[in-house]
Chain A
């Protein structure tokens, strides 16, 4: 299953032939994307739009010209965001409150940024602001983490509910203390361009991508090469065995949640300080739900998530403009993402059954067929 993929190392396959591996890798990683794009193309045709025009425009706006720069700018927060989800999901903790964590972290960063960047040296201000974003994002997971650790309260529910509360508080802050007095639309003060993240070598790409890559690579090392990473995986695989090998389970739950939330808050800080520089009321990029399939496709491996998230960044930056181009609601991308999730799960299922040498038809269905047939026979006799 997708969420359990994090523990499987790719080398466990018995077939050692190189081509089989390449084919298997292609089927598992690329086929879900292709099938989803194909199926969503049929949906486009049904709406009377040309799939070729839409996906052509996605490539045109997402990759060609300066599109690739836009995609890389978008990739920076996505990498951190994805790492935040991966940490939680590896521990089998469903932190689904990502939207609240992201927005609340982001609004405090962008709200405090004008004052801090004016009064402090820029580099110091950036570090403090990113620390604020990470702290706020992490703090917003604290209540669900404690409830889960102490009472076993289902974290899906608590994180989701707190997410809605976080979104509400974000909007209150924007309309209240952080409201830009110069404009009537509810939004925070706009950061002057020279107080935002510097750009890399004359391009439009800000240094956020470097920060993201560094953080993400360090985290990958921690998760795969340290005892903490191992303990996290043990807890994720089986909380009961974690208890038996002496892992402090409640503490583990809280730590996993805090890291997850902090990374999402950091993603928001990078996005605010690098790209947006202001936040409007009711603004919500909803990255979290959209990148879910990609962190699963990456088998909850941070390194592997980089190309998948880059793919999504191109799809999203290109898709936003492409949907305007062909006169389509931009939420069409949600359909593509949902289809990727579905096809990924099915292909994962088939692959698992194949590896185990089992029938593809689930036992329940086989039984149903069998009972249908036997009933027929009874009727005949």
Chain B
């Protein structure tokens, strides 16, 4: 295929958006959780739960918004397990997180096998909501500005989260819970309550990210379809250090590396698919090596809070 043809560029942009968005949404959730001092390693499993639930709901009702909502709801529901065990009881967050990942992968794959492995249904395309003038821009207009409604909703949510973390009292409490839970406690806030809400918000976004991946990026659910996006979200979060603009930027770099891999397959360049699948992770690891000093996590990350302990 000719480089720089309209079809080529449009495939590139579509692949770029399809890869960036689920990661962006999941990273938003992980950012809120990590800022509050909760390391949710179960994000991969939560995304799978969200993706599967969203897929089933959209398949049954035919409605994409309902599917997205159901995915986000499922994300909150399974995060309750994490909330009770890790935040309330203070159990090891890494162990529980890994258990959530296994649980999400195991249950969704068993259920998919039971119900859909023979029919392997696919969802249609969500109705796009073209932005009137912009979508008429030649070459990139159609692929960028003619996106499903959910796309715009997610972008708005990203702005809301940025505002929420930076400008509200509760955003400050979340940061305090991750930076110095003792002072939050001393100033009258509740570490457990703050972290609980952060975990549920994290579940909402992870579930939504999984649903976006299944419903809009892929149009179907396949077992273990996240393939490391959840873990990548943790990297994005670490590099972004709580700044939402960085979350968006880093997710886009990742999406870009996926999209480059995808469009290379359309050209004459003969690159094995293994290289293409690996490429985003090589990019991430390179970024980590270069910015090793900037990858930063809140001091209280992963530590359960016990009043009076040092």
* Contacts from A to B (Cβ < 8 Å): 1-3, 43, 47, 94, 96, 143, 147, 150-151, 153-154, 156-158, 160-162, 164-165, 167-169, 171-172, 175-176, 289, 292-293, 296, 328-329, 331-335, 337-339, 341-342, 345-346, 348-349, 362-365, 367-368
Contact = CB atoms under 8 A, between A and B. Distances in A.
Interface stretch (B95-103, B145-153, B210-218, B245-253): B95-103
Contacts, number: 160
A338 B193 contact: no
Contacts of B272: 172, 175-176
A323 to B, nearest CB: 9
A367 B188 CA distance: 13
A364 B190 contact: yes
B92 A337 contact: no
A327 to B, nearest CB: 9
A322 to B, nearest CB: 14
A153 B295 CA distance: 7
Given A337-B102, A364-B191, A151 B92 contact: no
Given A47-B110, A161-B284, A164-B228, A175 B274 contact: yes
Interface-centre pick from B81, B89, B103 (highest chain A CB count, 10 A): B89
Contacts of A296: 95
Contacts of B295: 151, 153-154, 157
Given A147-B288, A157-B235, A331 B105 contact: yes
Determine which residue in A164, A335, A367 has the highest number of CB atoms from chain B within 10 A of its CB, and name it: A164
Given A157-B288, A164-B281, A334 B92 contact: no
Contacts of B282: 165
B293 A168 contact: no
Contact of B106 (A47, A147, A154, A334): A334
B278 to A, nearest CB: 3
A345 B96 contact: yes
B231 A345 contact: no
Interface string B148-171: 000000000000000000000000
B268 interface: no
Interface string B276-303: 0110011011001100110101000000
B106 A157 contact: no
Given A3-B94, A345-B85, A346-B91, A171 B114 contact: no
A154 B297 contact: yes
Interface residues of B, number: 56
Contacts of B285: 143, 158, 161-162, 165
Contact of A331 (B106, B231, B274): B106
Closest 4 A/B residue pairs (Cβ): A168-B278, A364-B192, A334-B106, A329-B113
Given A164-B228, A329-B110, A334 B102 contact: yes
B72 interface: no
Contact of B103 (A94, A156, A164, A338): A338
A25 B147 CA distance: 58
5 contacts: A1-B92, A43-B107, A157-B231, A337-B102, A345-B92
B223 interface: yes
B289 A143 contact: yes
A165 B280 CA distance: 9
Interface string B107-138: 10110111001000000000000000000000
Given A153-B288, A153-B292, A362-B90, 18 more contacts: A1-B91, A156-B94, A158-B288, A161-B232, A161-B284, A165-B282, A176-B272, A296-B95, A331-B113, A332-B106, A334-B105, A335-B103, A345-B95, A349-B91, A364-B191, A364-B192, A364-B193, A364-B305
Contacts of A175: 272, 274
Contacts of A169: 274, 278
Nearest to B108: A331
A103 B234 CA distance: 24
A328 B289 contact: no
Contact of B190 (A3, A161, A367): A367
A168 B274 contact: yes
Contacts of A333: 106
B85 A342 contact: yes
Contact of A341 (B88, B98, B107, B305): B98
A331 B109 contact: yes
Contact of B92 (A3, A47, A143, A368): A3
A337 B45 CA distance: 14
B274 A362 contact: no
Interface string B232-269: 10110010000000000000000000000000000000
Contacts of B106: 331-335, 337-338
B89 A335 contact: no
Contact of A160 (B85, B109, B223, B231): B231
A345 B91 contact: yes
Contacts of B306: 363
A151 B238 CA distance: 14
Given A143-B289, A333-B106, A172 B275 contact: yes
Given A154-B238, A165-B281, A289 B94 contact: no
Contacts of A2: 92, 95
